[in-house]
Structure 1
Amino acid sequence: MDEERFNMALRKFLKEVGVTSQREIEKVVRDGKTDGQVLRVKMTLTSPDAPLDHVVEGAIPIA
């Protein structure tokens, strides 16, 4: 395995996830489709090619 190539591909994927996720969160908040002062979020990372099931949960203050 080429570590440098793998690392670059992984970073590219994570950047895409981060940028697109931020856009979706901003859109739902901007459109007023949230309830309350905090937006609870959950991100699940899975792979059909490996035993990968990673969950990250958090809360984003919106007020």
Structure 2
Amino acid sequence: MNEETFNISIRKFLKMVGVSSQREIEQAVAKALASGSIADNTALPVKMTLEIPGVQLKVGFDGEIHLG
């Protein structure tokens, strides 16, 4: 295994996930705020799951996103 190629590939994947996830979250929150379904001082529970079936990895991450 080439460690440098492996690490670069991981970083590229995580950057894509981070940028895409942020955009999706921002759009969903803006829509929810506009419809009045959430308040602008809400704390939103959030979950994310990372899966890599080829190595039997499935790990969950929990947290909160605070709007105000």
Would the TM-score normalized by the shorter structure come out above 0.5? Answer: yes
Aligned to 2:25: 25
More helix by share: 2
Aligned twin of 2:58:
53
Distance (whole Å) between structure 1 residues aligned to residue 9 and residue 25 of structure 2: 24
Percent identity between matched residues is 48
How many residues align? The count is 63
Long gaps (5+) in structure 2: none
Higher Rg of the two aligned structures: 2
Kindly state the Cα deviation for residue 40 of structure 1 after the two structures are TM-superposed.
1.1
Larger deviation, residues 52-61 vs 31-40: 31-40
Superposition TM-score, scaled by structure 1 size: 0.89
TM-score (norm 2): 0.83
Runs of 4+ more than 6 Å apart: none
